[in-house]
Every structure is written in C-alpha cells, then in structure tokens.
Amino acid sequence: MDDEQPPLAKTGVAQTSASHPAPPAPPATAVPRAPEPSAGPSADGASAPVEPLLAFHDVDTFYGQIQVLKEVNYTVYPGEIVALLGSNGAGKSTTMKTILGLVRPRRGTVTFEGRRIDNQSTPDIVKAGIAPVPEGRRVFSRLTVEDNLRMGAYLRSDNKGIAADMENVFELFPRLKERRSQVGGTLSGGEQQMLAIGRALMAKPRLLIMDEPSMGLSPIFVERVFDTIQTINRQGTTIFMVEQNAFMALSIANRGYVLRTGQVVLEGTAKELLESDQVRREYLGG
C-alpha cells in the first residue's frame, strides 16, 4: 500500500520506512491537505476498508471568543501510533481536551469507532475505550503505586483481568513493581510518568491519548518511555500522542500531524515528516 501513497509536497518521499511498524493505515495525504479518505485499506492490503478508530471532522473549538482549533481533521486508524506535533500554544492540549469532552467543538464532530463522542460526557468517553495520560503526569500523590493502578481500573469489575493487567504493567515497568507500596508523590518524575501510563493502561483502553510523555524526563527515561509506548502499541493499543520531542515521536510513530496556530499545516507518514524541510527546520533543529 505504500506504493499508493502520494509524496509529501516538499520531500517527494512516498515510502513508509521499513523500520516503522506497518500500520493498517490509509495512504498518507500530501500537503497541502488532500481530502480525507473515507476509510483506509485493510492490514493485508485487500480492498476491505478499515474504519477509523478516532476521527475529527472539521473541528472548530473556542475558549470564549478566541478560536483555537480551526477546521481540524485528524484520523487515527486501529493499530497506529499517530504523533501530533506543534509549537507552544498551537492547540495540541486543546485537541486532547476535545477528545475527552473537556472542551466542546463549536463546529464539526469527533467520532470514536464511528460514533459521535463530542456530545458525550467525559466518563462516557472513557467508558467507550479512551484513556488519557495527561500532561504533567498527575498521579495520586498519597496513594501507593498499586492503589494508583487500581484507580485506573475503577470502571472495571473483572477482577481476574484487572490482576492480569496489573502484572502486565509491572512487566512493562519493573521499576513500578519494586515500588508497588511507595506513595505516588515520592516517586521520581520518570517513575510518575510510568505510573501515569500504567494507570491509563489499567482501563484497558482501545485508544491511549498521551500529552507530552517525554516532558521533564532525562534522556534515558525518555528512551525507556518511548520503547514502552511501542511495546504497548504492539500489544494492541492504538496511540495518539502529543509530543514536543518531534524526533522521538516520529521515530516510533506511523503517521503524524503538524499543528500551527490551530490548523493542520502538514500531515504524512512519520518518515515523510522526518524528511520534510519544514519539520526539520521547525522541530528538529535544522
């Protein structure tokens, strides 16, 4: 399916890197944006369409009179890692808040598995299968690691499944297992980020939305967290991630979008974005 991808306007690159996990994703759209495909091809390249897991259709959001998102379209297909890049104030966190129903679009729609969620409550959106890892990794500082993880599963009642998922989180993050009785507030920044990701996973989401997972972490922790994000994705969770560290994000993502002052100005495969002059200039330091 890579052969069908139109080249990114400035780079002429059309191929998806072999080092990236092959997504059951649609062709990347060229820049300026082509119309959104109604559905992507199936994972085996056959003609049966794959429906988007998450889709924004011409979304406008405002804070009072100030418009933040302007006719924004995103599509995230099952199995993908999609990165959302953009400079400060571009509207990345607002995108995440819009998905969670914390900010309502004034125009346009947000759908999850084909159903509108922009008119639903945040608990219903979470129940539908979306779990956030918020910016600044807000963990419950007085609860232990284990209790923080249990909080992530508060909508579930399958105790065996919860126990198995907790073991999986401890396998992903052995450091958390060692510290399972320690209270969240005394963990290091990197450990708190692991705990925030682990807690989101305990909800058994189909879509994990992550706001700046690398923020404030030392390079070694950043690498560890991004490795784990890839593992989580391979285990079957789709990921939509806001990230300032464009290189790290694109090195694990299938596709990405670049947001500037509330508008999508660039989109393509991760490889296309890594090779784009604009992304190199604005996000990769040359």
d(CA 285, CA 98): 30
Binding to ligand ATP (CB under 6 A) within 87-146 occurs at: 88-94
Q: For residues 41 and 86, which CB has a smaller minimum distance to ligand ATP in the complex?
A: 86
Using rule CB under 6 A, residue 68 touches ligand ATP: yes
Using rule CB under 6 A, residue 86 touches ligand ATP: yes
Look at phi and psi of residue 12 and say left if phi exceeds 0, alpha if psi is from -120 to 50, else beta.
left
The residues with which 241 forms a beta bridge, in sequence order, are 83, 210
Stretch that binds ligand ATP, among 15-23, 30-38, 84-92, 167-175 (CB under 6 A): 84-92
Using rule CB under 6 A, residue 17 touches ligand ATP: no
Q: For residues 43 and 215, which CB has a smaller minimum distance to ligand ATP in the complex?
A: 215
Q: For residues 92 and 271, which CB has a smaller minimum distance to ligand ATP in the complex?
A: 92
Distances from the Cα of 58 to the Cαs of 23, 55, 63, 101, in angstroms? 24, 10, 17, 16
Minimum Å gap between C-beta 60 and ligand ATP is: 13
Longest CA–CA separation in the chain, Å:
53
**H or E element, residue 266:** strand 263-269
Residue 280's closest CA among 50, 10, 79, 5?
Answer: 10
Using rule CB under 6 A, residue 78 touches ligand ATP: no
Residue 227's closest CA among 81, 96, 85, 86?
Answer: 81
Stretch that binds ligand ATP, among 9-17, 29-37, 60-68, 107-115 (CB under 6 A): 60-68
How many residues touch ligand ATP (CB under 6 A)?
Answer: 11
- Residues at the contact surface with ligand ATP, assessed by CB under 6 A: 63, 66, 68, 86, 88-94
